[in-house]
């Protein structure tokens, strides 16, 4: 979600431009809270579902491949 943040900003401003009258102030007043909510959703996702370290994922893949190799020999 963080990698998509710059695209999310553009999409939020496009949506705000479509939903508001042609006034920069109202567009900013609509886009601001949406950007804040997007940032809060990123934080909530990190708290609820923390990412594993890449080293842990590599070890899990190695264990799975070793298990598969052992099963193949039987």
Contact 34, 12 (CB under 8 A): yes
Is the per-residue pLDDT at 73 higher than 70?
no
Is the per-residue pLDDT at 72 higher than 60?
no
Q: Position of tokens 């508001």?
A: 20
Is the per-residue pLDDT at 9 higher than 80?
yes
20-28: average pLDDT: 91
Global confidence as pTM: 0.62
Which of 14, 8, 17, 15 is closest to 37 using CA atoms?
8
2's CB contacts (< 8 A; 6+ apart) are 42
């Amino acid at each position: 979600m963080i990698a998509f943040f710059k695209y999310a900003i553009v999409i939020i401003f496009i949506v705000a431009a479509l939903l508001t009258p042609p006034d920069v102030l109202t567009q900013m007043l609509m886009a601001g809270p949406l950007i804040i909510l997007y940032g809060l959703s990123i934080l909530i996702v990190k708290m609820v579902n923390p990412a594993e370290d890449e080293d842990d994922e590599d070890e899990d893949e190695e264990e799975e491949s070793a298990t598969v190799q052992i099963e193949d020999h039987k």
